Structure 1
């Protein structure tokens, strides 16, 4: 068996769909597109070189995070194993689709800002006045698990940041 692992930067182009399988597992699938662009040095403009479309499937612990976080139009980075899925369409045409079984999916922070919610596997450990992040949340907050919201974007000052030359 082959393992072609890849990281693809792109945009979610369909709403993620969560399905419950007969064996009790859950899967979230969506389509993403990755556009290739290059700078045309003669005109100074960016030129589109084509688009890669692929179906992304998310399993196990990734299901809850993707289902709670991603929507159509979101800029993402997906990493996982690539496979080619061959099938015959309803009109009898043989088709091939590129699929990724993702092991990691996240927002592309070069094109957006994100609020990070951490999953906690343990019960609160600190009961002092300066509580830890894990102890500041109550059981069952989101999706039946303990979570802590952490801003991934620091507050911006109105003054420009100094630039080293």
Structure 2
């Protein structure tokens, strides 16, 4: 099966939902919306020219990070494998849905700010650096670098 990897920039459209599957795997799923904009020179302004909606599925290491970090409305960049699903809806009409199996996901730092908390997956914590001989504590007890 051909799987296209791509990046999509947009916003979280639905609250991420976590599911525990019978085989023990965990999955976080949400809908994402990406608006296409173009400059209309006749109006002298940017106008929306369509919205792409897709379902984003997050597995393995992404589950915890997405669940703890993202909520509806957040600007994100999603990278992963795109798939199209065709199915018959409850009303009997043929439908299709675009789905992404996310490989990487994060906030769009061009539209928001985000603190970074690094995970240490089974690795030992890095040792504290030895104090520099050219530092003395400041009034709060924190090391302050002296400049010569």
Fold equivalence (TM over 0.5) = yes
1:124 equivalenced with 2:138 (yes/no) = no
1:2 equivalenced with 2:2 (yes/no) = yes
Supply the distance in 1 between the matched residues of 2:76 and 2:37 (Cα, whole angstroms). 17
Pair 1:128–1:54, CA change in 2 (3 A): closer
What does 1:13-92 correspond to in 2, within 5 Å? 13-92=13-92
Pair 1:127–1:33, CA change in 2 (3 A): closer
Measured on the aligned residues, the alpha-carbon RMSD in Å equals 1.3
Aligned residues: 130
Q: What's the CA shift string for 1:94-137, capped at 9, x where partnerless?
A: 1100000000000001110001110013223425665xxxxxxx
Supply the distance in 2 between the matched residues of 1:49 and 1:123 (Cα, whole angstroms). 50
Supply the distance in 2 between the matched residues of 1:127 and 1:79 (Cα, whole angstroms). 34
Report the TM-score when normalising by structure 2.
0.83
The match for 1:96 is: 96
Secondary structure of residue in 1 paired with 2:119:
strand
Q: What's the CA shift string for 1:145-164, capped at 9, x where partnerless?
A: xxxxxxxxxxxxxxxxxxxx
The match for 1:135 is: none
Q: What's the CA shift string for 1:66-120, capped at 9, x where partnerless?
A: 0110000000000000001111111211110000000000000111000111001
Q: CA deviation at 1:22?
A: 0.4
Supply the distance in 2 between the matched residues of 1:7 and 1:128 (Cα, whole angstroms). 38
Contiguous gaps of at least 5 residues in structure 1:
131-165
Contiguous gaps of at least 5 residues in structure 2:
132-148
List structure 1 segments (4+ residues) > 6 angstroms apart after TM superposition: none
Pair 1:128–1:52, CA change in 2 (3 A): closer
